[in-house]
């Protein structure tokens, strides 16, 4: 059942990315180009995601568990530290250069696009390196 729920959620997420145009790096890069051909589609996509997420988080916080009665571990407000800033900077630079972030990268990968393959390989390498840095720091 867990695999089925994950599959449906993933398909729904991927369909939303495709419908919103976020799997097209040109749309993302145009959103970031505030002095040129600015396109607000990403802002609307983010607003829609927030509109769905906020009530879900409120429900989980109130219940203390997911709808399937699983313990929910929600992020707590913590301090802003160097790993958070460094990770955010690396993500932002990569996003600005490629116009792709992890979710759309996986969706684009299904098209056989070589750029998506290179992106996902870089994502995996970056994740491994980041975990090693984190493990050494702990």
pLDDT (tens digit per residue) in 41-59 = 889 988 998 998 899 888 8
1-26 tens-digit pLDDT: 778 988 998 999 999 899 988 899 99
Secondary-structure percent of the chain, ordered helix, strand, coil, rounded to 5: 70, 0, 25
- Buried (b) or exposed (e) across 99-124, using 16+ Cβ within 10 A? bbbeebbbbbbeeeeeebeebbeebe
Q: What is the pTM of this model?
A: 0.72
65 pairs with which residues across the strands?
71
- The total domain count for the chain is 1
Q: State the pLDDT at residue 90.
A: 87
- Structural domain of 40: 2-137
- CB neighbour list of residue 107: distance below 8 Å, 6 or more residues apart: 14, 17, 18, 23
């Amino acid at each position: 059942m867990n695999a089925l729920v994950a599959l449906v959620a993933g398909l729904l997420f991927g369909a939303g990315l495709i419908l919103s145009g976020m799997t097209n790096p040109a749309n993302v890069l145009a959103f970031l180009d505030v002095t040129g051909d600015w396109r607000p589609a990403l802002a609307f996509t983010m607003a829609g995601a927030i509109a769905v997420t906020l009530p879900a988080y409120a429900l989980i916080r109130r219940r203390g568990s997911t709808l399937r009665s699983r313990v929910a571990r929600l992020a707590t407000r913590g301090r802003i530290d160097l790993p958070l800033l460094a990770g955010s900077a690396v993500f932002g630079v990569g996003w600005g250069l490629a116009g792709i972030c992890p979710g759309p990268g996986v969706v684009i990968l299904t098209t056989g696009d070589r750029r998506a393959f290179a992106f996902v390989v870089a994502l995996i390498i970056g994740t491994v390196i980041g975990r090693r840095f984190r493990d050494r720091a702990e």
